[in-house]
Structure 1
Amino acid sequence: MTTFPNFLDTFTSTLLGTKPFEENPRHRALLNVFTEVQDLEQRLLAAMTASPQPGPGAVEQLEACTDLLLERLAAGYELSLLLSTGCCCAEDVVEANPCVPYGLEQDEECCQEPAEPPAGLLDACSGVFAELGDPHAVASADLVDALRRLPGVAGNHWRYSDLTQARLAELLAPYGMRTRDITLPDGRRRKSYQREALLAAMGVCTSC
């Protein structure tokens, strides 16, 4: 994917003698998630139309298709959320760059925090990270296994014991938390949640 601004955009700004435009984080998030949805759809189509593999290969092929499908559903949900949100600025820069749309006074809020997931789920995820020694990332499957041992409701009327990777992804998507392909300390490469993203979702400054 071409990044913006790249050297051509920088050259144009220099040639015209203008200052580079400041990027809007919300627009960048929309572009990134839209591109991810397209990429996942292409990968899913390729996986589903690949020639069937005999024996154990068929099981691995099915698991790969399932993982891609879950990722596509989570990314699509996040894209729908971004497109439907009436906020004029990204949630992670509201305090740094307050926005005042038409009809609002300076002191009024224009961005609303998402209703889900409840703070208890974020705290529960943080607890799992802490139990594991606060690694930089935890596999989605491992996080779900740990959360399912907890009592109570995680969100959307789902109890912790009923959580799946797809349901957890749906609950965490409003906070910008998505899995990434990460090689874990034990050598496994898994769809994982990053600790930095969790801290940001909880409002903890990670640059202090």
Structure 2
Amino acid sequence: MKGFPALLDSLADSVLTVQPVEDNPHHRAILDTFLELRDLDRRLLDFAAHSGPNKLSAAELLDQLTALLVERMAVGPVLTRLMSTDCCCVTTKVGQPEKEHDSLSCPGQHPQPASVVHAALSIFRRLGDPEAVASGDLVTGLRQIPGVAEGRWRYRDLTQSRLAQLLAPYEVSTRDVTLPDGRRRKSYRRSALIAALPDR
């Protein structure tokens, strides 16, 4: 499959001259979300098992654990929804209740920002074009946008970790920033997003 071949699968395709096929975005989203969920569970277990000396203060450790738990709680329902949602081209059988269809299967039928960078900058504009926006605040705004981010996740299903993954190819990452309200948070800078605009 294009986009998700293991090394041996790629080798087999080459030797057998099999034509690679495109991933179904809905199936890809299920797999990505499952792997993300498994990684979060592993990180939580590692966090719980660590009992040695730590340079972080108790408050910093609590902040890290809270952020990890919030992320885990956000991703779980996404996998449940993906597993129970029909592809948009699937016809519901007569007599069965209508099910929610999945914008990942036919993204062309849903309004799409030109890129996740454009989408992020639209949230900055909505907030009055500040120099920086906390990662969590940006995700909250992006979740109101319809459609699919970079062909991977619906905007409504974004998390801070997913946003970081989507922006990484654009070389945009968070920085520790003291915001106007006094909070010091991992934040995205407007200047970095503008510099990363694909059509510049």
Which of these residues, 73, 89, 101, is aligned with residue 111 of structure 1?
Answer: 101
Q: Which runs of 5+ in 1 are unaligned?
A: 90-98, 114-124, 148-153, 155-171, 193-205
Q: TM-score, normalised by structure 1?
A: 0.51
Shift of 1:12: 1.3
Are the structure 2 counterparts of residues 183 and 79 from structure 1 closer, same or farther at C-alpha, using a change threshold of 3 Å? same
Secondary structure of the structure 1 residue equivalent to 2:87: coil
Runs of 4 or more above 3 Å deviation: 52-56, 100-104, 125-128, 140-144, 184-189
C-alpha RMSD over aligned residues: 4.3
Measure the CA separation in 2 of the matches of 1:143 and 1:17: 45
1:184 aligns with 2:158: no
Identity, in percent, stands at 35
Secondary structure of the structure 2 residue equivalent to 1:21: coil
Measure the CA separation in 2 of the matches of 1:69 and 1:61: 12
Shift of 1:134: 7.7
Shift of 1:52: 6.8
Shift of 1:22: 1.9
Aligned match of 1:26: 26
Measure the CA separation in 2 of the matches of 1:7 and 1:54: 38
Q: TM-score, normalised by structure 2?
A: 0.53
Measure the CA separation in 1 of the matches of 2:79 and 2:35: 10
Are the structure 2 counterparts of residues 23 and 30 from structure 1 closer, same or farther at C-alpha, using a change threshold of 3 Å? same
- State the AA in 1 paired with 2:186: R
Aligned match of 1:118: none
Measure the CA separation in 1 of the matches of 2:177 and 2:90: 48
Cα-to-partner distance string for 1:32-91 (whole Å, 9 max, x where unaligned): 111111111111121123227689611111111111000000011111111121x125xx
Shift of 1:9: 2.2
Aligned match of 1:11: 11
Are the structure 2 counterparts of residues 142 and 45 from structure 1 closer, same or farther at C-alpha, using a change threshold of 3 Å? same
- State the AA in 1 paired with 2:158: M
Q: Which runs of 5+ in 2 are unaligned?
A: 104-119, 145-152, 165-172, 179-183, 189-197
